[in-house]
Amino acid sequence: MTDNKVNAKSVNEKVISPAVIKRLPRYYRYLGDLLKNDVVRISSKELSQKMNVTASQIRQDLNNFGGFGQQGYGYNVEFLYNEMGRILGLDRTNNIIIIGAGNLGQALANNQDFDSNGFKIIGLFDVNPRLIGMTVRGVEVYDIDMLEDFLSKNEVMIAALTLPKNKATKIAGELVDLGIKALWNFAPVDLNLPDDVIVENVHLSESIMTLSYRIHSKNL
Amino acid sequence: MTDNKVNAKSVNEKVISPAVIKRLPRYYRYLGDLLKNDVVRISSKELSQKMNVTASQIRQDLNNFGGFGQQGYGYNVEFLYNEMGRILGLDRTNNIIIIGAGNLGQALANNQDFDSNGFKIIGLFDVNPRLIGMTVRGVEVYDIDMLEDFLSKNEVMIAALTLPKNKATKIAGELVDLGIKALWNFAPVDLNLPDDVIVENVHLSESIMTLSYRIHSKNL
């Protein structure tokens, strides 16, 4: 659907398949663990054994971005980690707001994994007077009515939607009208938004149904 | 990896691709919405427009399970919804325990979407004395030391892991030793478990990194 709307800058870029993109964060995670354990270099074979994928898949995936490996040497872990971080956009700060300060919104705000990867939660928003004014790890819960004002004063890259399905569609439209270009959607609904808005869905109900399918199809 | 271990019962079953399986819950969700709106039947074309996929993909996906459609009539919504539910294993009760009663564990316990799909959370477990003994929507938080006793007295289909990475690997092994065959893993770690254990991962850090990649690759 977005194929027609590729902008001039990206015409010459190689199109990376969604399957490869989905694997990048996992490479980044493994490389981070290796780095913490002071591993300086690793061959695609060793990395493939750790990650339980084939060495040829690793080489193919990384070749999408120029390779990074040297014949007979393997990969320099720190270099590859940093390059992977740059590709993932983790070398800058990505400000996030969370719409819906219930358990799930609070769980995201409390997740320290995000901090180390350049994601910074700068505000939560809710309609519930009992939640408004409280702080989660130092981040304030604001009245949803403050959203427009907040967005005019802060640069926000991503809005996470952790609110019920029946409210998500309306607030998503409002966020887009206010200039938000990327939504991390936890509500069990497909958001139909303009093509230039990026939506990443985390559909928990669908995830557990997939698990249920896998359980019961084994026992049929 | 599991190809070598297909059991006798499933040899004659058609192998359904993971991509198709991932789409089934979405069909189920749309069919549920149609049913709520008293729609009796729908053509693959109408369904495809609603779901923003091609009609031929819908027909192909459903043909994996025998089709369900009638030429010139389309799909009977209630029948297809029920069949889809049966395929997904939602026609029975799937008992779930949650290991880790922090925000994320509580968010899962509070998620009412699960109830209507046959998933029943029957216990949360934690090491934190401040959480042990509290209830979340009527479900008790038990001391993790009670796990073995609890599992000996209750039939549990799925264990959700909503606890830190450094604890997840150990507890996953213990759960498997206690007979658990399916894990819904929210910890940012790959669990290396026997092939007959089903693991469905929800890696939030990887999801937001994928989103970040999509944002920044557009702006390069």
Instruction: Convert the pLDDT of each residue in B57-101 to its tens digit.
Output: 998 888 888 767 677 788 899 999 999 999 999 999 999 999 999
Q: In chain A, what residues touch B10 (CB-CB under 8 Å)? A: 217-218, 220
CB of A35 within 8 Å of a chain B CB? The answer is: no
pLDDT at position B7: 40
Residue A126, min C-alpha distance to chain B (Å): 16
CA A114 distance to own-chain centroid: 9
CB of A87 within 8 Å of any CB in chain B? yes
Which residues of A are less than 8 Å from B207 in CB distance? 184, 200, 202
State the helix-helix crossing angle for A18-36 and A77-87, rounded to 10 degrees. Answer: 140
pLDDT > 90 fraction of chain A, expressed in percent and rounded: 71
ipTM (interface pTM): 0.89
| The predicted structure's pLDDT at residue B13 | 55
Of A108, A181, A204, the CB nearest to B202: A204
Confidence grade of residue A13 (pLDDT, cut at 50, 70, 90): low
Q: Which helix (DSSP H) or strand (DSSP E) does residue A123 occupy? A: strand A119-126
Torsion of CA A113, A119, A122, A125, to 10 degrees: -80
Among A209, A210, A219, A220, the strongest candidate for a mutation testing the B interface, having the largest count of B CBs within 10 A, is A209
Cβ–Cβ below 8 Å for A220 and B10: yes
pLDDT higher than threshold 70 for residue A151? yes
Picking from A52, A94, A213, the nearest residue to B212 by CB comes out as A94
pLDDT at B5 over 90: no
Closest CA to A140 of A121, A113, A119, A118: A121
Q: How many CB pairs under 8 A join A and B?
A: 189
Q: Are A175 and A183 in contact (CB under 8 A)?
A: yes
Window 134-153 of A, Cβ < 8 Å to B:
none
Is B90 in Cβ contact with A209 (below 8 Å)? yes
Q: Are A140 and A129 in contact (CB under 8 A)?
A: no
Q: How many CB atoms lie within 10 A of CB A219?
A: 10
Q: Counting Cβ atoms within 10 Å, is residue A139 exposed (0-12), middle (13-18) or buried (19+)?
A: buried
Pick the residue from chain B with its C-alpha nearest to A15.
B217
